[in-house]
Structure 1
Amino acid sequence: MSAMSEEIDALDRSIINALQRGLPLVPRPYAEAAAALGFDENELLARLRALLDRGVLTRFGPLYQIERAGGRFVLCACHAPAERMEAVIDAINAHPEVAHHYARTHHLNLWFVLAVARAEALILSGGEPLLRPDLYQIAARARELGFHLSLSSNGTLLDAGHAARLAATGFDYVGVSLDGLPATHDRFRRSEGAFTQALAGLRAARAAGLRVGVRMTLTEANATQLPDLVALTEREGIDKFYLSHFNYAGRARSHRAEDARHARTRAALDWLFEHVWQRAQQGHVGDFVTGNNDADGVYLLYWIAQRFPQRVADMRQRLQHWGGNATGVGVANIDNLGNVHPDTMWWHVTLGNVREWPFGEIWASRADPLMAGLASTPRPLQGRCAGCRHRAICNGNTRVRAFALTGNPWAEDPGCYLNDAEIGMEVAT
């Protein structure tokens, strides 16, 4: 009998076998687990402490779903000479990404589980990515690594030649920005004829067999043009329509006054939800997405509650599983110089450079207070956001608007268009 087996009795074994399958998600999980095993909570806790103190259990805690956080578990194996085994173990355990390790009677005698950063999708954007001479070299390497590969372009350079190369390289999706009808788009882009060129680019991409989409950023200047722009994309047979809310970052800061006011934002979403529902009723498929304002999920839930109350519980569960804003956790940005940022809107915050340090190590670090807060559950929100009952859906929304206006990333989001009653705050009478 091994030394380990002599240290535990039958009851210890039953505890280990039962609890490695998980704890019940109830207010008193140890009490319920103990009752299932036939004894009380205090004895269970005492035995767990004793097992930990004696080193029978080296750790008792949650096993995180690293895949939900954008990562993967990797099983690694190495050979450690017997005389250096403890030193090798100490070196491995010094890395916080190591979940656990164990010895094996094999040449590869030390195995360990490593949590690693893993990106599923790569979006090549800009500026204008078609200006970059090594675009197709980067894209080919991304395909070799198994990324879902997208291009985000203004469309003006997207001719038949580029469309053919994009298709040959294996791009999964090409998105082009249209900021309204022709006059509005040209004025926003400060280039006469930009709309015509962008539409020609979309047509060239479709002709090459690429999946294409239009992205419209909602502002005061173009909000009333939403139905007409959607109609245009439908006539063109474009696969996807993406309605983006305004974020006060980069060049967009100078256009802050054009952010669609809350009432107009609500009206635009009311129209979009109803339009998509009517399309579905008529049997038309389509991909409609909104982004850069995670209050949209909550607003959709209220829209459903008014029309299909029997679906609210299911939809709430789906929205909570989606998890809301993923800045700093599930979404990252690497700029043209290799600098890593929490997402595309946070270029003023640099976490490291992939030319100097592996992306996985940069991304796993929580030394930056912003990254620590973004990864927290719940996030350290303030103001209306702190009291919102829908934080499990929106996750505090994008934080860059609050930072741009106040210098505090945790202040309430000025782009949240939900009223106090909708977020569950008391309304003064």
Structure 2
Amino acid sequence: MSRPAGAAGRGPRGRTPVRRPRHAIGERPFIVIWETTRACPLACLHCRAEAQTGRDPRELDGAAARLLMDQIASFGKPSPLFVITGGDPFQRPDLTDLVGYGTSLGLRVAVSPSGTPTLTRANLTAVRDAGAVALSLSLDGSTAERHDAFRGVPGVFDWTLEGWRDARALGLKVQINTTVSRHSLADLADVAALVRREGAMLWSGFLLVPTGRGEQLDALTPAETEDVLHFLYDCGAVLATKTTEGHHFRRVALQRAVLDRRGERPELGPLYARLSARAAELGLFDGERRAVRRPPMDVSSGRGFVFVSHTGEVHPSGFLPVSAGNVRSRPLPEIYRDSGLFRRLRDPELLRGKCGACEFKAVCGGSRSRAYGATGDVLAADPYCGYEPGSFPYQDELRDLTESTKN
């Protein structure tokens, strides 16, 4: 199969294809996400939180939120990235105060609002002035018709685009998140072209997890998932690209690094061919390329990643509805470091099925959220992965490359 124009080139010699946090992930997470509220006026088809129009009276109040941030700061330096999400965090009138408090503790604070009428330049200016350094927004279609149909409310596309442009003008770093489901497959190259045109720090492809309203959406097949991951890898040549709940993207990055060195291409399916053809029509890979490809970060549920719900429940991921404790009764560092659930998730030797037999288990491990959603077992195989363990032909080169990713 021919390489699309501008697709995955060889990075600088010695640069690892997969990054790992500089500190021990058993001691300190790389990222903490806090669901400030489930209140949100949208009705998104995939919503993990099954968001409601009103706020839950059980939410962590301002005092409890400050205690949570104190606990996050107690992990030590460098502090985890702290993401304030929802629902729509702008539904909380104390959002700016919370951002300011987290910043005063030395936390790097990002905000993940919904594309609603609250996404105004004034609100964005307020959170920036309070210390927020980054913003993440969702874009699930390249047109208003496509995006608004997925989000359930007309006007969301325009609000999102305006907020995106305002945030960049204000100096905020912007991450764009796109849900990869059957609904968005035909539009994926168009979304990538829009992200490249508008400019973003990062584009994240979220591989759907069957939880919340997402249980009603059609899942991709493992073969389609593989095609999407390789297309996202190609996109990394022209825009910084990552995945959410697509941990086998790290496997793809390692495989493609070996194949690229050998001048070979993977055998992929018809979806990859269609996405690549559409990207070529749009000129996605034309023009200037990134000087350095952004390697994916080796962070997974409970392994460098922790999610705190609006009521204080601590989960390995927002898409894995199993609690390891509550910050109201047990400090977050203690839960993260010592809970049995988190310890199990950090041990790749406990994985079952194909994930347990896979040579990539220590650097990939599959989506524990999707495994749980499909089987009820957090250690089962990821049903979206079509890779057969041991089938990659250049195992010696792969081992050398995998060793280079270790701390």
Please indicate, yes or no, whether the TM-score normalized by the shorter chain is above 0.5. Answer: yes
Q: Secondary structure at the match of 2:362?
A: helix
1:184 aligns with 2:184: no
Q: Which moved more, 1:228-237 or 1:413-422?
A: 413-422
Find the counterpart in structure 1 of residue 215 from structure 2.
Answer: 253
Amino acid at match of 2:28: G
In structure 2, the residue matched to 1:87 is none
C-alpha separation in 2, matches of 1:372 and 1:218: 30
CA–CA distance in structure 1, aligned partners of residues 242 and 154 of structure 2 = 28
Structure 1 residues 216-275: Cα deviation after superposition (integer angstroms, max 9, x where no partner): 0111111221211111122222332111211222332232x2x23233323333333234
Could you say which residue in structure 2 is the equivalent of 1:106? none
Of residues 224, 229, 236 in structure 1, which corresponds to 2:191?
229
Unmatched tracts of structure 1, length 5 or more: 1-64, 73-115, 280-285, 312-320, 425-429
- Counterpart residue identity of residue 288, structure 1: T
Confirm whether residue 356 of structure 1 aligns to residue 329 of structure 2: yes
| 1:96 aligned partner | none
Q: Which residue matches 2:283? A: none
1:196 aligned partner: 158
Give 1:204 shift.
Answer: 1.7
Please, which moves more after superposition, 265-274 or 243-252?
265-274
Which of the two has greater helix per residue? 1
Q: Which has the higher contact order (CA 8 A, sep 6+)?
A: 2
Query: Would the alpha carbon gap of residues 411 and 275 (structure 1) be closer, same or farther in structure 2, given more than 3 Å must change?
Result: closer
CA distance in 1, matches of 2:231, 2:23: 38
2:325 corresponds to 1:340: no
- The one-character-per-residue Cα deviations of 1:291-323 (angstroms, maximum 9, x if unpaired) are 212111111222222222399xxxxxxxxx988
- List per-residue Cα deviations over 1:333-376 (Å, max 9, x = no partner): 11122222222112x3222222222222222323x4x3331132
1:388 aligns with 2:358: yes
Classify 1:254/1:70 alpha carbon distance in 2 versus 1 (closer, same or farther; 3 Å).
farther
Q: Answer whether contact 2:353 2:381 (CA < 8 A) is retained.
A: yes
Q: Deviations over 1:71-95 (max 9, x none)?
A: 39xxxxxxxxxxxxxxxxxxxxxxx
Alpha-carbon distance change, 420 to 352 in structure 1, aligned in 2, over 3 angstroms: closer
Q: Distance in 1 between matches of 2:296 and 2:160?
A: 32
Partner of 1:239: 201
Alignment match of 2:134 (pick from 164, 173, 176): 173
1:47-84 Cα shifts (integer Å, max 9, x gaps)? xxxxxxxxxxxxxxxxxx96443439xxxxxxxxxxxx
Look up the match of 1:288: 241
- DSSP 3-state at the match of 2:93: coil
Matched, 1:371 2:371: no
Q: Deviations over 1:127-176 (max 9, x none)?
A: 11111112112111111111121111222221111111121112111010
Tell me the SS of whatever aligns to 2:190: helix
Which one-letter code corresponds to 2:301 in the other structure?
T
- Residues of 2 paired with 1:304 and 1:357: CA distance? 43
Matched letter for residue 340 of structure 1? V
In structure 2, the partner of 1:274 is 234
Matching residue within 368, 375, 390 for 1:406:
375
| Paired residue secondary structure (1:331) | strand
User: How far apart, in 1, do the equivalents of 2:307 and 2:197 lie?
Assistant: 34
For residues 275-303 of structure 1, the C-alpha deviation after alignment (integer angstroms, 9 at most, x for no partner) is 433x3xxxxxx422222121111112222
Secondary structure of the structure 1 residue equivalent to 2:242: strand
Tell me if the contact between 2:99 and 2:130 (Cα under 8 Å) persists in the aligned partners: yes
Q: Distance in 2 between matches of 1:409 and 1:207?
A: 42
Q: For residues 47-62 of structure 1, what are the structure 2 equivalents within 5 Å? A: none
Matching of residue 418 in structure 1 with residue 395 in structure 2: no
- Larger CA Rg, structure 1 vs 2: 1
Which position in structure 1 is the counterpart of 2:7? none
- Provide the aligned C-alpha RMSD in A: 2.6
**In structure 1, C-alpha distance between the alignment counterparts of 2:258 and 2:23, rounded to whole Å:** 33
Change over 3 Å in CA distance of 1:265–1:375 after alignment to 2? closer
One-letter amino acid matched to 1:155? G
Q: Which of 26, 51, 76 lines up with 1:69 in the alignment?
A: 26
For residues 275 and 355 of structure 1, what CA distance do their matches in structure 2 show? Answer: 42
TM-score by length of 2: 0.66
| Partner residue in 2 for 1:264 | 224
Tell me the percent identity.
Answer: 28
Task: Provide closer, same or farther for how the CA distance between residues 421 and 375 of structure 1 changes in structure 2, counting only shifts above 3 A.
Answer: closer
SS at match of 1:163: helix
Contact 2:301–2:317, Cα closer than 8 Å, also in 1: yes
Q: Retained in 2: the 8 A contact 1:174–1:210?
A: yes
1:174 alignment partner AA: L
User: SS of the residue aligned with 2:305?
Assistant: coil
Q: Which secondary structure does the structure 1 equivalent of 2:342 belong to? A: helix
Q: Which segments of 5 or more consecutive residues in structure 2 lack a partner in the other structure?
A: 1-21, 30-73, 265-294, 394-407
Runs of 4+ in 1 over 4 A off after TM superposition: none
Q: Tell me the distance in 1 between the aligned counterparts of 2:390 and 2:334.
A: 42
